[in-house]
């Protein structure tokens, strides 16, 4: 049984870490970009960002003034049990979000869409989002918080099989061009592409590809992994860099996730996880141990399963 107080205190720590500490995989990717960038202005921008990450850590202040829209992904091993059940867990995550908004402090970004009511704590109707995933074994629970920017860099389109790879590339480039100009997408970014699923799930797949996978990770399908390499290269060949200035670094990495879709369609979404790629993860074990990390490790073989039954032993033997 995992104590609810441990869930809340861990969640508050995660809120703090996500806002302040740039994940190492993104930092390594950006350092590589800065070393290769030759545009005057975009080089200056990347250097300023590297200084900014240092300043944030030294001062323990949020790296960006727009601290995004905090949200939660909860993954549980099949045997995990939470004190008070899942309603208690949701309350703990809402409390942690509100407390950290005041504590770090974060910007209270969440308002009612029509009445613009702001509780000044990033909590409200449907906020923070809490989404769930499960794994076949384990008594642990993974808490993942992501504070993604909420306005620019994302688009969705229903494509069709006849659009083919040429159409996928076109929509990818269109999204980078549209939101890359003037740096609205706060690039260079981790670009996530969702292909397939229902329309809403297509958006989720792309978003999760950008925020729940790390720089340097590759899809387990080797042909999709090749696409990821190719699309990263394609995005960086536009000639656009940070802030939409002339440059060669638009895409720190490109991650693609797929889901089965309607036989007549090929829905596609594109998402950009920005220069402040805020994510933090902790695994809480049943014995009270807490392990912090920055890789959500969300897309396991189980999450990408294709078969009716989950038969890990058979999969392993093949």
Partner 1 sequence: MSPREVRLSTTPTDDAIADLRLGDVVYLEGLMYTAREGVYMRALEDKANIPMELPSQSAANFHCSPAARINPDGSFDMGAVTATASFRFAKWLPEWMAKTGAKLIVGKGGMSSKDYKEYFVPNGAVYLSTVGYGTGALLGRGVENVEAVHWNEELGLAQAMWVIKCNKMGPFIVASDMNGDCLFERENAKIAENVARVYEGTKPAVLKRYGESDDRTDEVI
Query: Which residue in 197, 310, 308 sits closest to 256, CA to CA?
Result: 197
- Shortest gap between Cβ of 273 and partner 1 (angstroms)? 12
Our CB check for partner 1 shows the closer of 4 and 234 to be: 234
Residue of 14, 80, 93, 186 that binds partner 1 (CB under 8 A)? 186
Residue of 15, 27, 106, 215 that binds partner 1 (CB under 8 A)? 106
Our CB check for partner 1 shows the closer of 198 and 303 to be: 198
Task: Give Cβ neighbours of residue 60 (< 8 Å, ≥ 6 apart).
Answer: 16, 20
Residue of 104, 146, 193, 252 that binds partner 1 (CB under 8 A)? 104
Task: Give Cβ neighbours of residue 317 (< 8 Å, ≥ 6 apart).
Answer: none
Query: Which residue in 267, 249, 250 sits closest to 258, CA to CA?
Result: 267
Which listed range, 25-33, 105-113, 132-140, 283-291, lies at the site for partner 1 (CB under 8 A)?
105-113
Our CB check for partner 1 shows the closer of 236 and 294 to be: 236
Strands (E), the chain: 69-77, 130-135, 141-148, 155-159, 189-196, 251-259, 266-273, 279-284, 290-293
3-state helix, strand, coil in the chain (%, to 5): 40, 20, 35
- Shortest gap between Cβ of 100 and partner 1 (angstroms)? 11
What is the enclosing helix (H) or strand (E) of 57?
helix 40-59
Q: Is 238 in the site for partner 1 (CB under 8 A)?
A: yes
Residue of 17, 71, 94, 107 that binds partner 1 (CB under 8 A)? 107
Which listed range, 3-11, 54-62, 75-83, 206-214, lies at the site for partner 1 (CB under 8 A)?
54-62
- Shortest gap between Cβ of 49 and partner 1 (angstroms)? 5
Our CB check for partner 1 shows the closer of 201 and 234 to be: 234
Binding mask 267-306 for partner 1 (x = CB under 8 A): -------xxx------------------------------
Q: What does R_g of the chain's alpha carbons equal in angstroms? A: 20
Residue of 84, 167, 196, 259 that binds partner 1 (CB under 8 A)? 167
- Please state, in angstroms and rounded to a whole number, the distance separating the CA atoms of residues 186 and 279: 16
Residue of 1, 3, 32, 55 that binds partner 1 (CB under 8 A)? 55
Residue 139 CA, distance from chain mean position: 25
> Crossing angle, helix 24-36 and helix 40-59, to 10 degrees?
150
Our CB check for partner 1 shows the closer of 160 and 310 to be: 160
Query: Which residue in 219, 80, 69, 56 sits closest to 143, CA to CA?
Result: 80
Q: Is 170 in the site for partner 1 (CB under 8 A)?
A: yes
Phi and psi dihedrals of 152, rounded to 5?
-125, 160
From residue 50, how far is each of 41, 56, 198, 241 by CA, in Å?
A: 15, 10, 39, 15
- Shortest gap between Cβ of 226 and partner 1 (angstroms)? 16
Q: Is 85 in the site for partner 1 (CB under 8 A)?
A: no
Instruction: Write out the residues near partner 1 by the rule CB under 8 A.
Output: 19, 40-41, 44-45, 48-49, 51-53, 55-56, 59, 61-67, 102, 104-109, 111, 116, 118, 120, 151-152, 157-160, 162-164, 166-167, 169-171, 173, 177-179, 181-184, 186, 234, 237-240, 242-246, 274-276
């Amino acid at each position: 049984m995992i104590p609810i107080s441990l869930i809340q205190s861990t969640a508050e720590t995660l809120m703090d870490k996500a806002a302040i500490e740039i994940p190492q995989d993104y930092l390594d990717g950006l350092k590589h970009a800065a070393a290769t960038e030759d545009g005057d202005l975009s080089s200056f921008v990347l250097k300023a960002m590297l200084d900014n990450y240092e300043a944030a850590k030294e001062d323990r202040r949020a790296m960006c003034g727009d601290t995004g829209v905090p949200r939660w992904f909860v993954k549980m091993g099949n045997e995990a049990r939470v004190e008070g059940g899942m309603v208690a867990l949701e309350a703990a995550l809402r409390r942690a979000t509100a407390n950290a908004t005041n504590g770090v402090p974060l910007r209270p970004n969440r308002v009612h869409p029509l009445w613009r009511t702001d509780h000044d704590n990033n909590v409200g109707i449907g906020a923070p989002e809490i989404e769930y995933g499960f794994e076949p074994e384990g008594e642990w629970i993974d808490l993942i918080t992501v504070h993604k920017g909420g306005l620019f860099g994302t688009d969705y389109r229903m494509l069709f099989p006849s659009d083919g790879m040429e159409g996928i590339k076109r929509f990818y480039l269109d999204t980078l061009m549209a939101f890359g100009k003037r740096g609205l997408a706060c690039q260079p970014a981790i670009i996530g592409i969702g292909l397939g699923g229902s329309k809403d799930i297509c958006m989720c797949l792309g978003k999760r590809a950008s925020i729940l996978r790390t720089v340097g990770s590759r899809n387990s399908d080797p042909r999709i992994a090749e696409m990821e390499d190719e699309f990263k290269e394609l995005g960086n060949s536009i000639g656009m860099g940070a802030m939409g200035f002339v440059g060669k670094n638009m895409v720190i990495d490109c991650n693609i996730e797929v889901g089965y879709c309607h036989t007549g369609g090929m829905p596609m979404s594109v998402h950009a996880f920005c220069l402040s790629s805020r994510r933090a993860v902790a695994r809480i074990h049943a014995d009270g141990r807490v392990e912090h990390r920055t890789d959500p490790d969300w897309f396991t073989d189980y999450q990408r399963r294709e078969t009716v039954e989950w038969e890990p032993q058979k999969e392993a033997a093949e």
